[in-house]
């Protein structure tokens, strides 16, 4: 991947993360079911983790985390911790398994969503809400990832002619 395309992808990812979180916070209260929302952030984290290898990918994940921290009032550093952990887990998985099927990506998104929500809930003193809400959120995030991955792929294909992403 050339440096210019790397930069372009990075800013595109940042813009997508910003828009996703903006929509989720501005409209989330109106369209959520219980505590379950249409969450695209977990899909974006997995998409980046699959697409960009270490160490650049880590920088991308840091950026997404910082945007997430700005949109939330949870204890500082929790989003960063959970996203970075997810990134390393996916990188480790990628070094052992080729992840190409849709259901594999869905499972990864569900796992990332569950990991993130569990870390945040436990740290905020709400561990008793992991079941059923975090599990349900993970399930829905996994399902929604089909749609989000399609959107991310289309956006990146449209904005980059020389894409060398790992997807």
Positions that interact with other proteins (CB under 8 A): 3, 21-30, 32, 35-37, 41, 55-56, 58-59, 62, 66, 68, 70-74, 76-77, 80, 117, 120-121, 124-126, 129, 133, 137
Nearest to 44 by CA among 4, 9, 71: 9
Q: Which C-beta is closer to other proteins: that of 1 or that of 155?
A: 1
Closer to other proteins by Cβ: residue 99 or 122: 122
Exposed, middle or buried by CB within 10 Å (0-12, 13-18, 19+), for 19? exposed
Retrieve residue 7's tokens: 């930069």
CB of 27 to other proteins, least distance (A): 6
Assign 98 to helix, strand or coil: coil
CB nearer other proteins, residue 67 or residue 106: 67
CB of 139 to other proteins, least distance (A): 15
Beta bridge partners of 36: 33
The torsion angles phi and psi of 33, rounded to 5 degrees, stand at -115, 105
Closer Cβ to other proteins, 99 or 136, answer by number: 136
Nearer to other proteins, 71 or 104 (CB): 71
CB of 103 to other proteins, least distance (A): 26
How many whole angstroms separate alpha carbon 17 and alpha carbon 147? 15
DSSP-assigned letter for residue 97: S
* Residue 148: CB minimum distance to other proteins, A: 16
**Distance separating alpha carbons of residues 14 and 10, to the nearest angstrom:** 6
Minimum CB–partner distance for residue 53 and other proteins (Å): 11
């Amino acid at each position: 991947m050339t440096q210019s395309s790397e930069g372009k992808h990075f800013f595109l990812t940042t813009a997508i993360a910003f828009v996703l979180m903006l929509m989720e916070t501005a409209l989330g209260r109106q369209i959520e079911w219980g505590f379950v929302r249409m969450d695209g952030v977990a899909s974006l984290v997995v998409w980046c983790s699959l697409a960009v290898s270490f160490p650049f990918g880590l920088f991308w994940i840091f950026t997404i985390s910082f945007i997430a921290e700005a949109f939330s009032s949870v204890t500082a550093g929790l989003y960063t911790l959970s996203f970075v952990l997810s990134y390393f887990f996916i990188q480790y998985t990628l070094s052992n398994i080729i992840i190409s099927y849709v259901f594999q990506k869905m499972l990864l998104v569900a796992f990332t969503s569950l990991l993130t929500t569990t870390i945040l809930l436990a740290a905020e003193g709400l561990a008793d809400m992991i079941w059923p809400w975090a599990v349900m959120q993970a399930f829905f995030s996994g399902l929604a990832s089909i749609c989000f991955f399609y959107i991310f792929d289309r956006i990146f294909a449209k904005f980059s002619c020389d894409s060398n992403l790992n997807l």
